[in-house]
């Protein structure tokens, strides 16, 4: 396993994985109860009675009954890699009375950045489900934001998504200026920002479209679209994520809306809808072949309206947009 | 605020709250981006540009722009209470170069156990939405587990729930023996375990019903029902949670199915679908007036079938079942 090589490179004697997402990544089984994956020269998944039947069927690595943390602590010595997402509560229990050292490692998150062919297939299928579901909905002005969100989520589920990848955003009229507005009972009124995603085999999709109407909407839409296009155009292996962010931000700043682009340009998508790398000015991570990222600039005009356009892009020799749904719906 | 009294009792000079659920509890606004609520003699919510508009409208406490963690660190001295749910990554950033001491505190989680009248109203409304949605569904044998789950979630949303409280469980036939089975594309075949919940104003409901058919199902159903009834009957303020668990477990053990009851008897419900207290043999927490807990014994017969019955109970002078939906649907 790749993780064992990485473990040796970081001079760790073992890695303990508690984050269910990282466990899913490494063994193919998603635990529903507290479980621990121990990476040593061999790897084992310890899981509770609640999950053991499912784990035995689905895990790619050997499964044992999770009896107690103390039992696992006794198996460890030397320097143990632990996840930054481990809680302090768990960390205190892990350290109590133990002789090993601990060191935070992000090996699992780093490995997850580059997608395998199987992972990519799942992501593409999640995109298909999300787009086909949206395309089947007849938008009516009498609908509320909640009703549209409910229909999207229902159709995604019927089409094979085990759930929505995140709380579907349907934000219309002035609420479209709130980037993370939850759907409300307000009736649909343009512009409507719709940000939705499906989950297929635990892999997520994440897409945003904005329905526009007036000339002013169109003007802002075209700026956001230009920012998105230029950012996608610079994507290739070796480019820093901060540069992709800068390219999108520069376009929006040139038109005088810099202060209204209040989030980063994108993020990785896979088992989590937001994962590494973050396309932000704060990070110097270089793009690698096989990464899947969103590119989603937006302009939010307070008390007026907002526009965001988000597509998923696979990093190949250049950026390849995975979405098929048209930009104007 | 109650939290300031508790802070003084624990000799803390300040408490930092990062967990979005605890922030929601303390200020009435649910942040969608990293935010920090600082409790000192005055409390302040620091939130990002993404959320500040919504926070100013909805937060009960003053809101300021979240510029950097360093800025907040400079405001702190003495002993700072932090949440056990804080991640190691954040903890390291918090400690770096700072002079204050930190101490894990569970004051927010402890306060959340006892519900106010407003919280109780939200919980009851979430239960109403979940039950009314279920009652409107016509169960057909041609339906798949996924289709039933999709219909439940759609109807809950249309009826005012912003989302499902958790991934709806619809587990039929032998899959009912897996307590946390996700819905699949299998057609419905009795018994069917349905575990579903709505969210109203951020508050959750959590209920399980099992549809049965054969005499063997009926026999197991009656044992689980007896365990649930006896556990509910002992609920009153001052009783230990481990005792409620024991009462349910004893019934199931007497009938010889002790090994097939593979989870704890229940848990608190509120802003989170699973919150303190856990009704487990491992905890000695005493029930208090105002707590809302689930009572959900189950019997899981491997490769055969499972039965679980779950109701939500308010702790008053005795236990008051909040669910109205009948036990056999």
CB of B269 closer than 8 Å to CB of B312: yes
Task: Measure the CA–CA gap between A269 and A276, rounded to whole angstroms.
Answer: 8
Tell me what the mean pLDDT of segment A116-137 comes to: 97
- Using the predicted structure, report yes or no on whether residue B41 has a pLDDT greater than 90: no
Sequence-ordered list of residues with C-beta below 8 angstroms from that of B128, at least 6 positions apart, any chain: none
CB of B48 closer than 8 Å to CB of B33: yes
Identify the residue among A148, A159, A180, A276 best suited for mutation to test binding to B, counting B beta carbons within 10 A and taking the highest.
Answer: A180
Contact between chains at B53 and A302 (C-beta distance less than 8 A):
yes
Q: Is B246 left (phi over 0), alpha (psi -120 to 50) or beta?
A: alpha
Residue whose entry in the numeric block shows the structure tokens 């759609």:
B154
What's the confidence (pLDDT) of residue A41?
82
Contact between chains at A85 and B84 (C-beta distance less than 8 A):
no
ipTM of the complex: 0.87
Which residue among B32, B84, B153 places its CB closest to the CB of A157?
B153
Task: Give the other-Cβ count within 10 Å of A173's Cβ.
Answer: 16
Q: Tell me the H-state helices in chain B.
A: 2-9, 20-27, 49-58, 69-73, 88-95, 107-113, 117-135, 145-158, 215-233, 241-254
Chain B residues touching residue A183 (CB < 8 angstroms): 162
CA distances to A193, B24, B109, B126, B292 from B270, in Å: 30, 11, 11, 10, 7
Report DSSP letters for A51-107, one per residue.
Answer: HHHHHHHH-SS-EEE---HHHHHTT--SEEEEETTSBHHHHHHHHTT---EEEEE-H
Task: Give the other-Cβ count within 10 Å of A311's Cβ.
Answer: 24
Report DSSP letters for B64-75, one per residue.
Answer: EE---HHHHHTT
pLDDT tens, residue by residue, A17-70 = 999 999 999 999 999 889 999 999 889 999 998 889 889 999 999 999 999 999
Chain B residues touching residue A164 (CB < 8 angstroms): 163
CB of B307 closer than 8 Å to CB of B224: yes
Please give, rounded to a whole number of angstroms, the shortest distance from the CA of B329 to a CA of chain A: 23
pLDDT tens, residue by residue, A248-298 = 999 999 999 999 999 999 999 999 999 999 999 999 999 999 999 999 999
What's the confidence (pLDDT) of residue A239?
98
CB of A115 closer than 8 Å to CB of A291: yes
Nearest to B218 by CA among B305, B117, B289: B305
Assign A139 to helix, strand or coil: coil
Surface of B (181-200) touching A: CB under 8 A: 181-183, 185
Q: Is B176 left (phi over 0), alpha (psi -120 to 50) or beta?
A: alpha
* Chain B residue with the nearest C-alpha to that of A31: B180
Contact between chains at B167 and A167 (C-beta distance less than 8 A):
no
Q: What is the DSSP letter of A299?
A: E
pLDDT tens, residue by residue, A202-246 = 999 999 999 999 999 999 999 999 999 999 999 999 999 999 999
CB of A178 closer than 8 Å to CB of A133: no
Nearest to B208 by CA among B117, B269, B140: B269
Which residue among B84, B263, B302 places its CB closest to the CB of A87?
B84
Lowest-confidence region among A48-52, A120-124, B198-202, B210-214:
A48-52
Chain A residues touching residue B180 (CB < 8 angstroms): 32-33, 50-51
**A301–B contact, CB cutoff 8 A:** no
Which residue among B87, B153, B163 places its CB closest to the CB of A84?
B87
What's the confidence (pLDDT) of residue B181?
85
Tokens at B97, concatenated: 């170069």
Chain A residues touching residue B185 (CB < 8 angstroms): 160
What's the confidence (pLDDT) of residue B50?
84
CB of A173 closer than 8 Å to CB of A189: yes
Residue whose entry in the numeric block shows the structure tokens 């709806």:
B168
Chain A residues touching residue B151 (CB < 8 angstroms): 154
CB of B228 closer than 8 Å to CB of B248: yes
Residue whose entry in the numeric block shows the structure tokens 């929601």:
B24
Task: Give the other-Cβ count within 10 Å of B287's Cβ.
Answer: 23
**How many CB contacts within 8 angstroms connect chain A with chain B?**
101
Contact between chains at B180 and A32 (C-beta distance less than 8 A):
yes
- Using the predicted structure, report yes or no on whether residue B180 has a pLDDT greater than 90: no
Sequence-ordered list of residues with C-beta below 8 angstroms from that of B259, at least 6 positions apart, any chain: none
Contact between chains at B50 and A179 (C-beta distance less than 8 A):
yes
Q: What's the mean pLDDT when you consider all of chain B? A: 96
CB of B284 closer than 8 Å to CB of B241: yes
Contact between chains at A87 and B82 (C-beta distance less than 8 A):
no
Tokens at A141, concatenated: 């002005």
Surface of B (302-321) touching A: CB under 8 A: 302
CB of A37 closer than 8 Å to CB of A23: yes
Task: Measure the CA–CA gap between B230 and A252, rounded to whole angstroms.
Answer: 65
* Chain A residue with the nearest C-alpha to that of B259: A49
**A179–B contact, CB cutoff 8 A:** yes
What's the confidence (pLDDT) of residue B1?
78
- Cβ burial of B230 (10 Å; 0-12, 13-18, 19+) is middle
Chain B residues touching residue A104 (CB < 8 angstroms): 88-89, 92
Tell me what the mean pLDDT of segment B281-299 comes to: 97
Contact between chains at A88 and B89 (C-beta distance less than 8 A):
no
**Helix H or strand E encompassing B44:** strand B43-47
Peptide bond into B86 cis (omega under 30): no
Please give, rounded to a whole number of angstroms, the shortest distance from the CA of B125 to a CA of chain A: 17
Contact between chains at A85 and B88 (C-beta distance less than 8 A):
yes
- Using the predicted structure, report yes or no on whether residue B300 has a pLDDT greater than 90: yes
What's the confidence (pLDDT) of residue A140?
86
Chain B residues touching residue A162 (CB < 8 angstroms): 146, 167, 182-183
């Amino acid at each position: 396993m790749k993780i064992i090589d990485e473990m040796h490179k970081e001079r760790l004697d073992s890695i303990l994985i508690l984050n269910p997402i990282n466990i899913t990544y490494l063994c193919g089984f998603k635990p529903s109860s507290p479980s621990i994956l121990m990476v040593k020269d061999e790897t084992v998944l310890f899981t509770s009675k609640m999950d053991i039947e499912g784990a035995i069927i689905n895990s790619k690595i050997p499964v044992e009954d999770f009896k107690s943390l103390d039992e696992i602590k006794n198996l460890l010595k030397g320097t143990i890699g632990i996840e930054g997402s481990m809680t302090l509560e768990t960390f205190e229990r892990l350290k109590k009375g133990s002789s090993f050292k601990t060191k935070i490692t992000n090996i699992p998150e780093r490995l997850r950045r580059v997608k395998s062919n199987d992972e990519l297939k799942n992501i593409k299928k999640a995109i298909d489900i999300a787009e086909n579901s949206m395309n089947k909905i007849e938008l009516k002005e009498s609908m509320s934001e909640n009703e549209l969100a409910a229909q999207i989520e229902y159709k995604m589920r019927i089409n094979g998504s085990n759930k929505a990848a995140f709380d579907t955003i349907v934000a219309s009229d002035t609420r479209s200026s709130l980037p993370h507005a939850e759907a409300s009972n307000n009736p649909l009124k343009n512009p409507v920002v719709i940000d939705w995603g499906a989950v297929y085999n635990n892999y997520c999709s994440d897409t945003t479209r904005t329905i526009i109407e007036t000339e002013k909407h169109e003007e802002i839409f075209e700026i956001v679209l230009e920012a998105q296009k230029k950012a996608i155009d610079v994507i290739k292996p070796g480019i820093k994520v901060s540069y992709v962010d800068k390219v999108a931000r520069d376009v929006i700043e040139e038109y005088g809306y810099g202060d209204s682009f209040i989030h980063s340009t994108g993020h990785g998508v896979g088992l989590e809808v937001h994962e590494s790398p973050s396309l932000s000015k704060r990070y110097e991570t270089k793009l690698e072949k096989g990464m899947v990222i969103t590119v989603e600039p937006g302009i939010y005009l307070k008390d007026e309206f907002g526009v965001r356009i988000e597509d998923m892009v696979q990093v190949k020799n250049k950026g390849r947009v995975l979405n098929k749904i048209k930009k104007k719906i």
